[in-house]
């Protein structure tokens, strides 16, 4: 069953393929469907692919093949669209980039919550998976996601309830936003700074004090590379 928006997008792609031999760009699809967010297009495309109406070819820009068109009984006659309300807060489309670069999605595990405030218990279990545009995961390596709890990083654009995408690493440079494990017990999301023989974990909210620890008390578990937000 397709929503009206999903069918509209499928028909738009098919018309452009028939006319020009190539699918429309990300911007063209967003404009045609009068959507405010490009991530909305990503969700519609993902839904169409999951339902077997289109096929995307990996590692190729604008590579979409229409497999089939729906019958009238396969369209759900409702307003709006059927994509998730999660939108990507850290991917800004570059006009010189491949239009479909951020469309290809990978699922990564959500490992629970991370404190952007008072540290919480260390992350230990996978709660579910989340689809992340490939543009965020450039450079390879393992990634995981965490749900943010608290407002200590609000001035860095990270709000309570956001989902942060973390690249696994035990290294960080001054100023990086990292997942820091404190004394193997508590985990927090903060800016990382080396200050002599100590590590400073700095909030992005003046209401929270910078906390300083001996090197051996802190383990970096990953570095922030992306952000998903629910509106």
Active site residues: 152, 190
**Cα 152 from Cα 181, distance rounded (Å):** 16
**Cα 227 from Cα 127, distance rounded (Å):** 18
**Cα 74 from Cα 2, distance rounded (Å):** 6
Q: DSSP characters for 102-150? A: TT-EEEEEEEEEEESSS-EEPP----EEEEEETTTTTT-S-EEEEEEES
Residue matched to tokens 């604008």: 62
Phi, psi of 146 (to 5 degrees): -140, 140
């Amino acid at each position: 069953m397709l929503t009206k928006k999903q069918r509209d997008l499928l028909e738009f792609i098919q018309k452009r393929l028939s006319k020009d031999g190539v699918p429309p760009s990300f911007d063209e699809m967003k404009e045609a469907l009068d959507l405010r967010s490009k991530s909305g297009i990503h969700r519609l495309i993902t839904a169409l692919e999951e339902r077997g109406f289109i096929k995307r070819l990996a590692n190729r820009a604008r590579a979409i093949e229409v497999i089939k068109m729906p019958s009238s009984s396969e369209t759900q006659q409702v307003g709006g669209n059927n994509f998730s309300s999660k939108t990507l807060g850290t991917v800004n489309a570059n006009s010189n980039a491949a239009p479909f670069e951020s469309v290809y999605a990978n699922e990564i595990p959500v490992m629970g919550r991370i404190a952007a405030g008072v540290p919480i218990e260390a992350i230990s279990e996978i709660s579910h998976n989340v689809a992340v545009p490939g543009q965020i995961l450039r450079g390879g390596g393992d990634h995981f996601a965490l749900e943010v709890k608290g407002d200590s990083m609000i001035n860095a654009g990270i709000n309570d309830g956001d989902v942060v995408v973390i690249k696994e690493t035990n290294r960080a440079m001054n100023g990086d936003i990292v997942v820091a494990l404190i004394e193997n017990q508590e985990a927090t999301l903060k800016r990382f700074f080396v200050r002599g023989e100590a590590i400073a974990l700095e909030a992005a909210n003046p209401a929270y004090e910078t906390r300083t620890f001996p090197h051996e008390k802190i383990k970096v578990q990953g570095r922030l590379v992306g952000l998903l937000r629910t509106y």
